[in-house]
């Protein structure tokens, strides 16, 4: 438990002195939202597109940071992000959230992606929880209706659409050389968004869909023989590739446990808890090397890259596993050593910086990937700190 106390103290300091100041510095007071690109030399490109996912995640982050830390300036940052989402990112004619905006707030990539709608719901729900602004809650419910009426078929959630919700090729969330009709990742983040929407509002339609998604994870996504989730699917939810995504599995385990805590439904707790325990155990056994987590395993070949978000989710996932199974003290040890790896190698020590996107298994920064881009945000590492402060 001393390790847990130490991590909490260190993460509070890291949150207040590194992560929050970095993202505050990217606020665009001229055109709204937050700047969308910072290169490895920490140069900000103020004319780069603004990802709607990025701005949703920033809004989510500041909303929750305010709730945990009570600093009024954080709520002001959340409001700034919210107003950009409300005024620019939502298509007021056709509904839904665009993929990216120009730096000055005009539609850039007008794709509507289910994953993107989910993160906007996540942000709007958290902002409502922090501010009490009913308008944000109504917008979140409206995007819920968009997903449920325009983004699913009789099997489940589809992925990518054009501006008027005609299905298009899913390049955005497909990887590893395949194009998927449906993905575990999109399902996970719809689930995460609906959990937050139900948590802050008690809205019954969200609860009903959470039950359906939990069944989907248990019955179609989770592979009990391989002790993992499948990742990419065809239109009928047949798996397309032999892939074990370590970061997603440990993230899924704690996000499902969070939902079960919110729902307080004993039948679903009994059904799903063995799955979250199995996912956590399997990740510890096959992906953790004693100090950090590998990225993924495709067709038996392990990608040893240490990705920023995977390490953050590992800390939360292992602490969650320890809290639910205190006899598994190795989980707490695993979280502690992953945090040591993060501090030593992933946190960029240059003044005014944040985390490197990725390093080697030995901790070497061998990538020229940007420090901020549409997918690189304070969502995973900021959430890690906030989770630890509340656990």
Q: Is the pLDDT of residue 43 over 80?
A: yes
What is the bridge-based pairing of β-strands 50-51 and 100-101?
Answer: antiparallel
Buried b (16+ CB within 10 A) or exposed e, 129-159: bbbebeebbebbbebbebbbebbeeeebbbb
Question: The tokens 């990538």 sit on which residue?
Answer: 367
- Of the candidates 138, 135, 185, 137, which has an alpha carbon nearest to the alpha carbon of residue 160? 185
Q: Under DSSP, is residue 155 helix (H, G, I), strand (E, B) or coil?
A: coil
Q: What is the pLDDT of residue 317?
A: 98
Buried b (16+ CB within 10 A) or exposed e, 292-306: bbbbbbbeeeeeebb
Mean pLDDT, the chain, rounded, equals 98
The structure tokens listed for 215 are: 């069944």
For 203-222, the pLDDT digits (tens) are 999 999 999 999 999 999 99
* First-last CA distance in the chain: 12
List all residues 6 or more positions away from 166 whose beta carbon is below 8 Å from its beta carbon: none
Distance of CA 208 to the CA centre of its chain: 22
What is the bridge-based pairing of β-strands 160-161 and 112-113?
Answer: antiparallel
Q: What is the pLDDT of residue 366?
A: 84
**Is 260 in contact with 273 (CB distance < 8 Å)?**
yes
Question: The tokens 């794709």 sit on which residue?
Answer: 111
Q: What percent of the chain has pLDDT over 70?
A: 100
Distance, CA of 121 to CA of 124 (rounded, Å): 5
Phi, psi of 40 (to 5 degrees): -65, -20
In this prediction, residues 46-61 reach a mean pLDDT of 98
- pLDDT band (50, 70, 90) for residue 1: confident
Distance, CA of 177 to CA of 181 (rounded, Å): 13
Angle between helices 246-263 and 266-286 in degrees, nearest 10 = 160
Per the structure, the count of domains in the chain is: 1
Q: Under DSSP, is residue 331 helix (H, G, I), strand (E, B) or coil?
A: helix
In Å, how far are 27, 114, 206, 330, 387 from 147, measured between CA atoms?
A: 29, 7, 11, 40, 28
**Is 118 in contact with 52 (CB distance < 8 Å)?**
no
Q: What is the pLDDT of residue 213?
A: 98
Q: Is the pLDDT of residue 8 over 80?
A: yes
What is the bridge-based pairing of β-strands 107-109 and 112-113?
Answer: unpaired
Distance, CA of 236 to CA of 106 (rounded, Å): 36
- pLDDT band (50, 70, 90) for residue 18: very high
Q: Under DSSP, is residue 228 helix (H, G, I), strand (E, B) or coil?
A: strand
Q: What is the pLDDT of residue 80?
A: 98
Distance, CA of 180 to CA of 83 (rounded, Å): 33
Burial class of residue 123 (count of CB atoms within 10 Å of its CB; 0-12, 13-18, 19+): buried
Q: What is the pLDDT of residue 70?
A: 98
Q: What is the pLDDT of residue 148?
A: 98
For 66-103, the pLDDT digits (tens) are 999 999 999 999 999 999 999 999 999 999 999 999 99
Question: The tokens 């056709």 sit on which residue?
Answer: 94
Q: What is the pLDDT of residue 85?
A: 98
Question: The tokens 């630890």 sit on which residue?
Answer: 388
For 24-38, the pLDDT digits (tens) are 999 999 999 999 999
For 113-155, the pLDDT digits (tens) are 999 999 999 999 999 999 999 999 999 999 999 999 999 999 9
Q: What is the pLDDT of residue 179?
A: 97
Q: Is the pLDDT of residue 60 over 80?
A: yes
Distance, CA of 380 to CA of 57 (rounded, Å): 9
For 223-279, the pLDDT digits (tens) are 999 999 999 999 999 999 999 999 999 999 999 999 999 999 999 999 999 999 999
Phi, psi of 355 (to 5 degrees): -110, 145
Alpha-helix runs per DSSP H in 20-169: 20-24, 52-69, 72-84, 114-131, 134-150
Q: Is the pLDDT of residue 10 over 80?
A: yes
**Residue 288: domain span:** 2-390
Distance, CA of 111 to CA of 187 (rounded, Å): 18
Q: What is the CATH number of the domain that holds 255?
A: 1.50.10.10
The structure tokens listed for 166 are: 């005609």
Is pTM beyond 0.85? Reply is yes
Q: What is the pLDDT of residue 65?
A: 98
* DSSP secondary structure code for residue 218 in this structure: I
Q: What percent of the chain has pLDDT over 90?
A: 99
Phi, psi of 174 (to 5 degrees): -100, 140
């Amino acid at each position: 438990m001393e390790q847990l106390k130490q991590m909490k103290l260190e993460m509070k300091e890291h949150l207040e002195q590194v992560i929050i100041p970095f993202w505050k510095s990217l606020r665009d007071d001229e055109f709204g939202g937050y700047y969308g690109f910072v290169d490895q030399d920490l140069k900000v490109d103020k004319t780069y597109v603004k990802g709607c996912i990025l701005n949703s995640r920033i809004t989510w982050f500041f909303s929750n940071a305010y709730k945990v830390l009570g600093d009024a300036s954080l709520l002001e940052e959340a409001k700034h992000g919210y107003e950009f989402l409300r005024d620019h990112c939502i298509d007021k004619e056709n509904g839904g959230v665009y993929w990216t905006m120009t730096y000055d707030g005009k539609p850039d990539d007008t794709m509507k992606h289910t994953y993107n709608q989910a993160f906007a719901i996540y942000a709007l729900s958290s902002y409502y929880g922090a501010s009490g602004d009913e308008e944000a809650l109504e917008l979140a419910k409206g995007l819920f209706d968009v997903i449920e009426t325009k983004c699913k078929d009789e099997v489940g959630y589809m992925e990518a659409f054009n501006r008027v919700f005609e299905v298009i090729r899913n390049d955005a969330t497909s990887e590893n050389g395949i194009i998927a009709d449906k993905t575990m990742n999109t399902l996970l983040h719809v689930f995460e968004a609906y959990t937050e929407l139900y948590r802050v509002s008690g809205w019954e339609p969200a609860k009903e869909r959470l039950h359906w998604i939990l069944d989907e994870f248990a019955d179609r996504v989770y592979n009990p023989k391989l002790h993992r989730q499948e990742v990419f699917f065809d239109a009928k939810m047949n798996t397309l590739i032999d892939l074990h995504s370590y970061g997603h599995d440990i993230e899924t385990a704690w996000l499902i446990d969070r939902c079960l805590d919110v729902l307080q439904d004993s039948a679903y707790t009994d059904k799903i808890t063995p799955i979250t325990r199995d996912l956590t155990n399997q990740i510890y056994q096959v992906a953790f090397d004693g100090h950090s987590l590998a990225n993924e395993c495709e067709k038996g070949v392990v990608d040893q890259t240490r990705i920023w978000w995977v390490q953050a989710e590992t800390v939360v996932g292992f602490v969650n596993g320890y809290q639910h199974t205190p006899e598994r003290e190795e989980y707490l040890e695993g979280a502690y050593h992953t945090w040591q790896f993060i501090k030593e190698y992933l946190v960029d020590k240059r003044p005014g910086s944040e985390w490197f996107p990725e390093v080697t298994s030995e901790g070497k920064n061998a990538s020229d990937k940007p420090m901020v881009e549409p997918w690189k945000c304070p969502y995973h590492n900021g959430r890690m700190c906030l989770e630890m402060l509340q656990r």
